[in-house]
Amino acid sequence: MEESISKSVMAFITITTVVVLFSFFVWVFPGFFFTNDLKEITTAKPYTALELAGRDVYMAEGCVACHTQMVRNLEPERKRYGRPNKMEDDVYEFNFLWSSQRTGPDLTNIGLKYTEGWHKQHLINPQAIVPASIMPQYPWLFEKKLNVSHVIASMKAMKKLGVPYTDTQIENSSSKVEGKTKGDALVAYLMSLGVDTREKGGDLN
């Protein structure tokens, strides 16, 4: 056998492929069939049109570069950021915004913490509220209007990926985002984080 591995490229490729396929079938393949079970047990709800638009702003502005959305089940993290993530929280997330860099705080449960007014003031000028903050200012977000056709397109894309939006929801979405600024959408998105998956009092324990 070792003769053939060291001598024959085909044998080497075949054996390597078999080993890799074992891992694939044990670790990756079953995951494709969990989605429906996760949809049964999840408390997460699909984003509204405005929140989805805000999520696009979140991605476009590169918020993921500094903010995670992944609370690990460690006491210091639970105390500071609230309920740890669970697999079923992300059934409607395409793509994940877990991120890996925490220059700013984790935002998984940020919707439970502040008010809309706070977010608006903070996005326009973070240093006005938290003097030590190093977050950049985003005043222009509240000057630029959302592009309605982009929102509809992004809802349709989500529907293709498995988010249960109905056609009427997609049609009505234009009236919901009409005239709203990018900042309004981002604030709506931030205010929705952690709200659906919240648990009863004492989360931080």
Partner 1 sequence: MESMNILSSVLSIIFFFIMVAVIYSQFRKNKTADSNKTIEQFDGIDEKDAPIPKVFFVAYLIAFIGAIVYVLLYPSLASWKGFIGWTENDDAYVAKSIDINNNINAIINANTDEQVFTLLQKDPLVLQSGKSLFGDNCSACHGQDAKGQYNYPSLVDKDWLYGGSPQDVYTTIHNGRKGKMPAWKGVLSGKDIDELTQYVSDLNKGPFKSNALFDANCSSCHGKDAQGTHGVGAPNLTDDIWLHGSAKADIKRNIENGMSNEMPDFGERLSRNQILSLTSYIVSLQSEPQDNIDFMQANTYIFSRNEQQLPAVLTACVACHGADGLGALPGAPKLAGLKQAYIYNQLNLFVSGLRKNATMQNIVAGLDVKDKLLAASYFSSLDSPAISKITPEKSADGLINDPTERLIFQGDWQRAIPACSTCHGQETEGSPSFPRLAGQSSDYLEKQLFDWRTGDRTGDQGHMMQNVVNKLTDDEIKSLSKYLSKMK
Q: Among residues 29 and 96, whose Cβ is nearest to partner 1?
A: 29
CB atoms within 10 A of CB 147: 13
CB of 68 to partner 1, least distance (A): 16
Tokens of 184: 């309004």
Tokens of 58: 């979140």
Which DSSP string corresponds to 121-175? HHHH-HHHHSTT--PPP-GGGGTSBP-HHHHHHHHHHHHHHT----HHHHHHHHH
CB of 88 to partner 1, least distance (A): 12
Supply φ then ψ for residue 145, to 5 degrees: -80, 155
Q: Among residues 80 and 102, whose Cβ is nearest to partner 1?
A: 80
CB of 27 to partner 1, least distance (A): 8
Provide Rg for the chain, Cα atoms: 22
Q: Is 45 helix (H, G, I), strand (E, B) or coil?
A: coil
User: Using CA atoms, how far apart are residues 60 and 103, in angstroms rounded to an integer?
Assistant: 18
Residues that bind partner 1 (CB under 8 A): 1, 22, 25-27, 29-30, 33-34, 37, 73-76, 78-80, 82, 109, 112-118, 121-122, 128-130, 198, 200-205
Q: Among residues 29 and 140, whose Cβ is nearest to partner 1?
A: 29
Q: Among residues 30 and 179, whose Cβ is nearest to partner 1?
A: 30
CB of 183 to partner 1, least distance (A): 18
Q: Among residues 146 and 194, whose Cβ is nearest to partner 1?
A: 194
CB of 15 to partner 1, least distance (A): 10
Which residues fall within 8 angstroms of residue 169, CB to CB, at 6 or more apart? 49, 155
CB of 78 to partner 1, least distance (A): 7
Q: Among residues 2 and 167, whose Cβ is nearest to partner 1?
A: 2
